[in-house]
Amino acid sequence: MGEYRLKQAKLVAFTSTRRKNLRVEEDPGVRDVLRSGVDVAAVVGSASKFHVEKVLRTSLETNLDMISDTLDYLTDHGIKVVFDAEHFFDGYKSCPDYALNAVKAAEEARAYRIVLCDTNGGALPHEIYDITSKVASVLKTPLGIHCHNDSGMAVANTIEAVLAGVIQVQGTINGLGERCGNADLCQVIPALELKLGVRALAVDKPKEERLKGLVKLSAYVYDLANLPRNNYQPYVGKYAFAHKAGIHIDAVLKACEAYEHIDPELVGNRRMLTASEIVGRAGVVSKAKEMGLQLSEDDPAVLEILKEIKELEYQGYQLEDADATLFLIMLKHLGIYEEAFSILSWRTLIEARGNELSTESSVKVRVGGETFYEGSEGLGPIHAQDLALRKALSRIYPEALNVKLVNYKVSVTDVGMGTASRVRVFIEFTDGKHEWATVGVSANIVEASKKALVDGYDYYIQRLRNPWLKAKGNAMT
């Protein structure tokens, strides 16, 4: 592990019980655990009569010997063993006596923990609670729980198991796992800590500080796995505490708990008031304040902003995710927008030569009293557009070269029109320190992309150079 040291966690080796036709000391998986140098091992073994007979194809007694031999052998070599009783709940429901015999064999073989597994993810919360309670009354070894999410119950089942007496929870960050995934620790941990008062983390911090890294951890794991983030994920999703309807926003502004089950800051999240045609005056004012703009409910600009939002959404725009586009709308209606540049013309060409494609785009931009014409080749039409626009703007605004596109998404707004449908293009940008997003809509995907691109660069330049924003301390640094 080099210089890296685990502060709160232990590295655990994973293996199965010895193979049915091998002595434990001959089993390669068991030998690898000993060679790994770990202090703790997780050993999976069957607790289901059905699986022993139909899948392992051995006798019920042999399977119990496989459990006992493996746990005894590893324990004799100084390793703490967590026994994962695979298919325990299904096994218990079909043959409770054998399922109990399996975990009793693990206890007699000195298991450090016995984890009850809902391997197929088919159990319901009341079943988890009832069965776990019965096992807890029979065994003395501390219990754990391992739930899959095939019925959408993994988090609920895990909580029920804790209420029934388990002290170890197995799960994954963001619920990642085979098939439908595992119990999502980003939901389990705050539910235990904030709602049940159960200490889930070995972190020596006050209650208000213990979970503040949860959103960042969730995002980090998604990025490592190269998976898109779930914006609607409970507790940690971008929209977990987003409010759109006017009556909701009005209520939240008066008392946050009106529509929030916890303070979002406890898990490192934040409240989001989104703009849409159903938002009211209070929502527009609150959103403006969030953006650092001064606006009161009796300001005539409020109604003008609401009107434009409604018109844009009728065209297929969605401004909930595109704060930069909304910011520009507000600047213009407040009279503090200063045109940074204007697009005089643009052209994008795609040419096919056999199996090869070439794409180029050109743009003519006016900045102040000067006009610049630039062209670029790209991997695709939007890439070429972006390179040409950035090159032209950088002649006056060198900071434009810092901007990168980090997400590009296209969706159809009116599917009934087929290939003539209008499309919505959503683009996320970053300069390495800040992130922002814009949206454009058109029946022409290149035009929709151009709108979103132009807004993205316009927003960035406004936030860096707009005199009013700089005077109010609301400019980017």
Q: What sections of 345-444 are H helices per DSSP?
A: 381-393
Q: According to CATH, where is 3.20.20.70 located in the chain?
A: 12-183
269 close to 235: Cβ distance less than 8 angstroms? yes
- CA angle 110/112/114 to nearest 5° reads 95
Q: According to CATH, where is 3.30.160.270 located in the chain?
A: 342-471
Q: Which residue has the tokens 């036709």?
A: 21
Closest C-alpha to 75, from 46, 104, 112: 112
429 close to 460: Cβ distance less than 8 angstroms? yes
Cα-based torsion angle of the residue sequence 147, 149, 151, 156 in order, rounded to the nearest 10 degrees: 60
pTM greater than 0.85: no
Q: Which residues contact 328 (CB under 8 A, 6 or more apart)?
A: 337, 455, 458, 459, 462
CATH among 3.30.160.270, 3.90.1150.180, 3.40.50.720, 3.30.230.10 for 342-471: 3.30.160.270
Centre a 10 Å sphere on the Cβ of residue 195 and count the other Cβ atoms it contains. 11
- CA angle 436/312/413 to nearest 5° reads 85
Cα-based torsion angle of the residue sequence 21, 25, 30, 36 in order, rounded to the nearest 10 degrees: -160
- Per CATH, the number for 12-183 is 3.20.20.70
Q: What is the pLDDT along the chain (477 residues), one digit of tens a residue?
A: 344 566 778 899 999 999 999 999 999 999 999 999 999 999 999 999 999 999 999 999 999 999 999 999 999 999 999 999 999 999 999 999 999 999 999 999 999 999 999 999 999 999 999 999 999 999 999 999 999 999 999 999 999 999 999 999 999 999 999 999 999 999 999 999 999 999 888 777 887 888 999 999 998 898 888 888 898 999 999 889 887 666 666 677 677 778 889 999 999 998 876 655 445 677 788 788 888 888 888 899 988 998 898 888 888 888 877 899 999 999 999 999 999 999 999 999 999 888 888 999 999 999 888 999 999 999 999 999 999 999 999 999 999 999 999 999 998 877 666 777 889 999 999 999 999 999 999 999 999 999 999 999 999 999 999 988 888 787 776
